[in-house]
Chain A
Amino acid sequence: MNSFLGALAWLADPANWAGDDGIPVRLLEHIGITAVAVFIAAVIAISLGLFIGHTGRLSFLVVSTTGALRALPTLGLLVLFALWLGIGIGPVIIVLVILAIPPLLAGAYAGVESVDRATIDAARAIGMTEWQILTRVEVPLGLPIIVGGLRSAVLQVVATATIAAYLPIGGLGRYIFDFLPLRRFEPVFAGAILVTVLALVLEGVFAAIQRLAVPKGVRILRGSPAALGAGRPARVEPAADSDGADSGGADSDRPEYGGGPTSSPPASHTHSHPTQ
């Protein structure tokens, strides 16, 4: 508890909010690393997921990659890539991209897959091209689930981006990795708190975006306004690691995504570092 209060005191110290290693700089670095990794992963995984969902081809890829990629230990992978490519931002981004691909792929695939086959058949029968069916029917109707995949990916990456400091690049992880050997636990705790708060804020933002992603005509279909409330879209989200209380078993209702031992809530990474 003293360490916690110490961390709060450290966070309150204006000195820690200035300079090249101040909190705003580290925060921006952290968000930047997350954004770049999720963006690259999204370009790869969402296009692949949409292709698989639309054509029904290669769907085994979704099951196998989501399972296999999730089983990879992120830190071990980081060391491997660092030995191979040298110290730098490259290995960090690669590792985070690998981490973000499974939820994005699964979300894009499941989003397209969730659209009523009769609706797609009708769209084709009236003369929409395959591209028009994808962009004007499948993506808009599957958007809440696609965004769900993005939400999940962002959450996992923002928590895991902490390890960028291991090389040492930047981001909020620097407070953890730099001060742990010095046994100065206030900044270590403060770093963990900052990562957690950032993760929670992003979670809230994406939960809101996911809700807004439900097309209006579909919201009506679901009936009463109460049905629009908390959790409705989240329940169909591919990897709902994010939902606080029930996060432990969130994968169990979608067995095809192979929730392995690595699918535990990402927030636990940040909590566990200070105690190592």
Chain B
Amino acid sequence: MIAFEGVSKRFPDGSLAVDDFTLTIPSRSTTVLVGSSGSGKTTLLRMINRMVDPTGGRITIDGDDVAKLDPVKLRRRIGYVMQNSGLLPHRTVIDNVANVPILDGVKKSEAHAHALELLDTVGLDRSLAKRYPAQLSGGQQQRVGVARGLAVDPNILLMDEPFGAVDPLVRDELQQELLRIQRELSKTIVFVTHDIDEAFLLGDQVVILRTGGIVAQAGTPAEILANPADEFVASFVGAERGRRALHIDAEHGDRVLVDGTGRVAGVLTDGPGGMAGTAAGSAPE
């Protein structure tokens, strides 16, 4: 469990990125921090592994104040995945994945064997192991980034807009892969995005932030959609514009769903195993 207790961050230039933020992130589930730029979501994420130190309040992991932990040791037991992969361009895929375990003293052969298994886990062909990051597509690089994040078998995985820079089709694929990986591994995932649909798809808990790291609403996607806390949330999730209110449109037959703006949103199916609907807000499980 990760707990933020009255956390603030004022940057040296005087700007207040986060003000008195309190939140509990339960273990073995996915919490998504979602907000526009300036909402402090990335700052909050980076406070968990001490890439940013708060100027007020404290953050605990299973009761331990992170401020009292050595930053390098802390970071080595937390997976970190970022936009544009952040892979080392002069290292091969397998060296990138095995990097931290080797720095931690794991034997190279062992670390490499484990790295190959991780490539399987993230759905990459083992033949890519000897390639350099520049020889991979953006989506493949992100998969390597996820494999690297998992390399030390961390309990916590921090993901900072990991799918923000790949095209929509690849993003869908990566999101589904992440859901699959999470079903298999049950990590404590903290995921940052500005995409509300991505948040609703991946999050067990979704935290909508407004400027300055203020929690506008926190809850399951269903709770937020059913009862938006205020106009800001309603507008952010699109409920205000009617995008979340779906009705069956008789003109197109009795199965076509249309939202409040008149956009055709999807097709009503008999169950979750049917055609993948574009209807946003459908529960992942």
Known contacts A127-B72, A127-B75, A127-B103; A122 and B86 CB within 8 A of each other: yes
A15 at the interface (CB under 8 A from B): no
Question: Is A128 a contact of B103 with CB atoms below 8 Å?
Answer: yes
Question: Is A217 a contact of B91 with CB atoms below 8 Å?
Answer: yes
Binary CB contact string for chain A from 209 to 236 against chain B (1 if under 8 A, 0 otherwise): 0000001111011000000000000000
Known contacts A119-B86, A217-B134; A126 and B100 CB within 8 A of each other: yes
Question: Is A122 a contact of B87 with CB atoms below 8 Å?
Answer: yes
Which residue numbers of A lie inside 8 Å of B, CB to CB?
116, 118-119, 121-129, 132, 136-137, 140-141, 215-218, 220-221
- Bound-state CA distance A130–B103 (Å) is 13
Contacts of B72 in A (CB 8 A): 127-129
Who on chain A is nearest to B76 by CB? Answer: A127
B113 at the interface (CB under 8 A from A): no
- Bound-state CA distance A124–B91 (Å) is 16
Within 8 A of A (CB), among B82-102: 82, 84-92, 99-100
A126 in complex: contacting residue of B80, B90, B134, CB < 8 Å: B80
- Bound-state CA distance A268–B86 (Å) is 46
Question: Is B87 a contact of A221 with CB atoms below 8 Å?
Answer: no
Who on chain A is nearest to B95 by CB? Answer: A217
A selection of 28 A-B contacts at a CB cut-off of 8 Å is: A116-B89, A121-B82, A122-B82, A122-B87, A122-B88, A123-B88, A124-B51, A125-B51, A125-B75, A125-B80, A125-B82, A126-B76, A126-B86, A126-B99, A126-B100, A127-B103, A128-B99, A128-B103, A132-B103, A136-B88, A141-B89, A215-B89, A216-B132, A217-B90, A217-B134, A218-B89, A218-B134, A221-B132
B278 at the interface (CB under 8 A from A): no
B40 at the interface (CB under 8 A from A): no
Shortest A114–chain B CB gap in Å is 12
Shortest A172–chain B CB gap in Å is 39
Contacts of B49 in A (CB 8 A): 125
Question: Is A220 a contact of B134 with CB atoms below 8 Å?
Answer: yes
B213 at the interface (CB under 8 A from A): no
- Bound-state CA distance A216–B149 (Å) is 24
Q: A119-B88, A126-B148 are in contact. List 14 more A-B contacts (CB 8 A).
A: A119-B89, A121-B82, A125-B46, A125-B49, A126-B86, A126-B100, A127-B72, A127-B75, A128-B103, A129-B72, A132-B103, A216-B90, A217-B88, A217-B132
Shortest B152–chain A CB gap in Å is 8
Contacts of A126 in B (CB 8 A): 75-76, 80, 86, 99-100, 148-149
